[in-house]
Amino acid sequence: MRTRLFLPTVWLALASLTHAAETVWLDALDLSQMTQGWGTPQTNRSIREQPLAIGGRKFERGVGTHAISTARMELDGGSERFLAFVGVDDNANGPASIVFKAIADGRILWQSGVMKPGDPAKAVDLDLRSVKTLLLQVGDAGDGVSYDHANWAEARFIVSGAKPRIVGVPVEPAIILTPKPGPAPLINGPTIYGCRPGNPFLYRIPTQGQRPMIFSASGLPRGLKLDSATGIITGSIAERGEYRLTLRAKNQHGRSSRPFKIVCGDTLSLTPSMGWNHWYAHYDRITDAMMREAADIMVSSGMADVGYQYVSIDDCWMNAARHQDPMRVGPLRDERGNIVPNKYFPDMKAMTAYIHAKGLKAGIYTSPGPRTCAGFAGSYQHEAQDAKQFAEWGFDLLKHDWCSYGQIARDDKSPDMFQKPYRLMGDLLKQQQRDILLNLCQYGMGNVWEWGAEVGAQSWRTSGDLGFELNNIFNVALKNAEHRAWSRPGSWNDPDYIQIGHIGNARVGGLPAPCPLTPTEQYSFMSLWCLMAAPLFYSGDLTQLDEFTLNVLCNPEVIEVNQDPLGQCARVIELDEATLIMVKDLADGAKAVGLCNRGEMETTVTARWADLGIKGKPRVRDLWRQKDLGRFAGEYRAIVPRHGVVLVKVK
């Protein structure tokens, strides 16, 4: 009797053990659903397509990836163990640093600590019984993703039931959160604006609501006039000083007014500049016709009615010595040394006039080196001539890159070698009889935030091209926010352009297609850039704007956080691995607060008033929904989706 009962039990146990012995290799799964910061996941070789090797040890099998990467695995209760060896690939050839993590149902199950090139492989052995969703992640250890070549070597699951599957990012519906603007006028835009005495003045009062509309202003300084039908202010102010205006607009549905202070002096861009830049949409395909179309759409889409103003051309408007498109090949300069636009730009002056006639401003691009990043003519040794030319053409902003200037700076041992080319251009631009903003694009070298304003720039990129790090916008934002001490009126840290809606693939300069960000991530992009007081330049395809993208770009209450006259970049309060609070003081005494979740799972985030320096029982307003949520004592908590930001104003 006893034996008869015992035997089948042993047999069953043995059978399940034999079953449990099935090994499923990570490299045998469908890796196409993995996300990573650079390249594509490799089977049984490193991201450089070399044999996998960690700390001198070779591995036959495994997955070669690149930070930041995630394999989201559905285990369906079938996996018992996960085994692997992890580390930086021996061919990384640079200062990599990575952290490997395994996150089980939203909880960190294991992490490697920081791993560097040459470190011996670390063994991973995880108990997965009862785990439903497992994330295998590679993070950048906080110093950016460069050289972060990461290997999951001999990675395998011991499976007793359903096989593990790599699945994509959960699909989210693109929900429009913001109510549509009504037909009555609503004046938006900054409440403070800087200009220089004697220079042409141009400002289109950003106003939502049905046209026709009648604009007026009280307190308009001498020298300026307002077109009552278009709301465009032009002219020139001779006298330095502060001028307090009230802007007004009315139509058959109602009226709106807004205070506006013009400070005529030395400082431009008293709030972050806003506009559109062609780069991430059109690369080396840009033409005069596309720039004019961009200006048309900036007005017709309503973007100009919430404050977008600059229509900016990036690289590739000049000639190159070699290019696949013969229309962009030609003499770099004429016999007098003047830079020559390529055949797609027959008349720069007419193009800026077209943009100006809409009340908008025009931006241009050059490099301090002999060539731009895309190999077109740069300004080296023609700086004065080019600055004068840009002003004569009628440009209002210059993006100044770095690119081939590296060759010149290499032999320059002087302590101010980073500043030199920008100080030169900054001084030259000030000499022009135009207000021309200077945006530096040298990726943060030499702590540019410390001296950017002093050399005459109003903004400077703080990192490399965000087009290459789109799965990493929180990291880029947090690095940018580290320089918050240098954020103030006329002085802005620039983490690069807003890339939502339709954008091209930055790696190959591809045609615009839907961006890789989820709807939540697109809202987060805008929320973070507004909290950081970053210049707000959309760099997607304006001809493919849809309702969702416009909704994200054009919420005036969110933009008001960006344009706040205090010019503060939000302070960051890290709560845990995944969640953080960003808090920004506003001029009206309120605070903009972002409850942020960088993690892969939805979670509750709590903003405690004590941490934020808030007393009493303040009112909380949801800025995306433009909705009051009530008064809250002690704290405000919200459920924040994966990679989400809940943006509120607390007063």
Q: Rounded to whole angstroms, how far apart are CA atoms 246 and 257?
A: 7
Q: Rounded to whole angstroms, how far apart are CA atoms 237 and 263?
A: 10
Residue 41's Cβ-side half-sphere holds a number of Cα atoms within 13 Å equal to 25
Q: How far is the CB of 539 from ligand GAL (least distance, A)?
A: 9
Task: Kindly indicate which of the ranges 138-146, 368-376, 553-561, 598-606 contains the residues binding ligand GAL, using the contact rule CB under 6 A.
Answer: 368-376
Which residues lie below 8 Å from residue 267, measured CB to CB, with a gap of 6+? 194, 489, 490
Q: How far is the CB of 579 from ligand GAL (least distance, A)?
A: 31
- List 305, 315, 396, 401, catalytic entry: 401
Site string for ligand GAL, 589-628 (x = CB under 6 A): ----------------------------------------
Residue 292: burial class (beta carbons within 10 Å; 0-12, 13-18, 19+)? middle
Q: Which of residues 209-248 bind ligand GAL (CB under 6 A)?
A: none
Task: Kindly indicate which of the ranges 126-134, 267-275, 370-378, 419-427 contains the residues binding ligand GAL, using the contact rule CB under 6 A.
Answer: 370-378
Q: How far is the CB of 314 from ligand GAL (least distance, A)?
A: 5
Q: How far is the CB of 188 from ligand GAL (least distance, A)?
A: 27
Instruction: Report how far apart, in Å, the C-alpha atoms of 446 and of each of 97, 449, 465 are.
Output: 22, 9, 17
Closer to ligand GAL by CB, 374 or 528: give it: 374
Which residues lie below 8 Å from residue 620, measured CB to CB, with a gap of 6+? 628, 629, 630, 631, 632, 636, 648, 649, 650
610, 636 Cβ separation under 8 angstroms: no
* 374 binds ligand GAL, rule: CB under 6 A: yes
Tell which phi-psi region holds residue 56, choosing left (phi > 0), alpha (psi between -120 and 50) or beta. Answer: left
* 465 binds ligand GAL, rule: CB under 6 A: yes
Q: Rounded to whole angstroms, how far apart are CA atoms 275 and 314?
A: 13
Q: How far is the CB of 257 from ligand GAL (least distance, A)?
A: 38
Closer to ligand GAL by CB, 96 or 506: give it: 506
Closer to ligand GAL by CB, 260 or 402: give it: 402
Q: Which of residues 306-335 bind ligand GAL (CB under 6 A)?
A: 314-315
Q: Which amino acid, one-letter code, is at 584?
A: K
Q: Which amino acid, one-letter code, is at 495?
A: P
Task: Kindly indicate which of the ranges 20-28, 78-86, 337-345, 369-377 contains the residues binding ligand GAL, using the contact rule CB under 6 A.
Answer: 369-377
Q: Which of residues 474-513 bind ligand GAL (CB under 6 A)?
A: none
Task: Kindly indicate which of the ranges 256-264, 372-380, 420-428, 570-578 contains the residues binding ligand GAL, using the contact rule CB under 6 A.
Answer: 372-380
Q: How far is the CB of 373 from ligand GAL (least distance, A)?
A: 3
Q: Rounded to whole angstroms, how far apart are CA atoms 158 and 263?
A: 69
Tell which phi-psi region holds residue 304, choosing left (phi > 0), alpha (psi between -120 and 50) or beta. Answer: alpha
Q: How far is the CB of 464 from ligand GAL (least distance, A)?
A: 7
Closer to ligand GAL by CB, 293 or 465: give it: 465
What letter does residue 331 receive in the DSSP assignment?
Answer: -
Closer to ligand GAL by CB, 140 or 314: give it: 314
Which residues lie below 8 Å from residue 399, measured CB to CB, with a gap of 6+? 277, 312, 314, 363, 364, 365, 366, 439, 441
CA dihedral 446, 449, 453, 459 (to 10 degrees): 110
Q: How far is the CB of 502 from ligand GAL (least distance, A)?
A: 18
Q: Provide the token pair at 226.
A: 């307002």
Q: How far is the CB of 220 from ligand GAL (least distance, A)?
A: 37
Q: Rounded to whole angstroms, how far apart are CA atoms 580 and 299?
A: 36
Task: Look at residue 338 and give its three-state secondary structure.
Answer: coil
* 401 binds ligand GAL, rule: CB under 6 A: yes
* 405 binds ligand GAL, rule: CB under 6 A: no
Choose, by CB under 6 A, the member of 276, 279, 354, 395 that binds ligand GAL.
279
* 191 binds ligand GAL, rule: CB under 6 A: no
412 is catalytic: no
* End-to-end CA, the chain: 77
Q: How far is the CB of 209 from ligand GAL (least distance, A)?
A: 35
465 is catalytic: yes
DSSP per-residue string spanning 393-438: HT--EEEE--TTHHHHHTT--STTTTTHHHHHHHHHHHHSSS--EE
Closer to ligand GAL by CB, 376 or 523: give it: 376
Closer to ligand GAL by CB, 332 or 586: give it: 332
Q: How far is the CB of 325 from ligand GAL (least distance, A)?
A: 15
Residue 227's Cβ-side half-sphere holds a number of Cα atoms within 13 Å equal to 15
169, 32 Cβ separation under 8 angstroms: no
Closer to ligand GAL by CB, 441 or 473: give it: 441
Closer to ligand GAL by CB, 469 or 564: give it: 469
Closer to ligand GAL by CB, 373 or 590: give it: 373
For residue 621, list its beta bridge partners. Answer: 628, 649
By CB under 6 A, the count of residues binding ligand GAL is 10
Choose, by CB under 6 A, the member of 70, 188, 269, 372 that binds ligand GAL.
372
Task: Kindly indicate which of the ranges 337-345, 367-375, 385-393, 567-575 contains the residues binding ligand GAL, using the contact rule CB under 6 A.
Answer: 367-375
Q: Rounded to whole angstroms, how far apart are CA atoms 148 and 93?
A: 10
Closer to ligand GAL by CB, 27 or 315: give it: 315
Q: Which of residues 415-454 bind ligand GAL (CB under 6 A)?
A: 441
Q: Rounded to whole angstroms, how far apart are CA atoms 451 and 469?
A: 26
- List 143, 427, 465, 585, catalytic entry: 465
Q: Rounded to whole angstroms, how far apart are CA atoms 154 and 44?
A: 9
Q: Which residue is nearest to ligand GAL, using beta carbons? A: 373
Q: Which of residues 24-83 bind ligand GAL (CB under 6 A)?
A: none
Which stretches of the chain bind ligand GAL, using CB under 6 A?
279, 314-315, 372-374, 401, 403, 441, 465
Return the active site residues. 401, 465
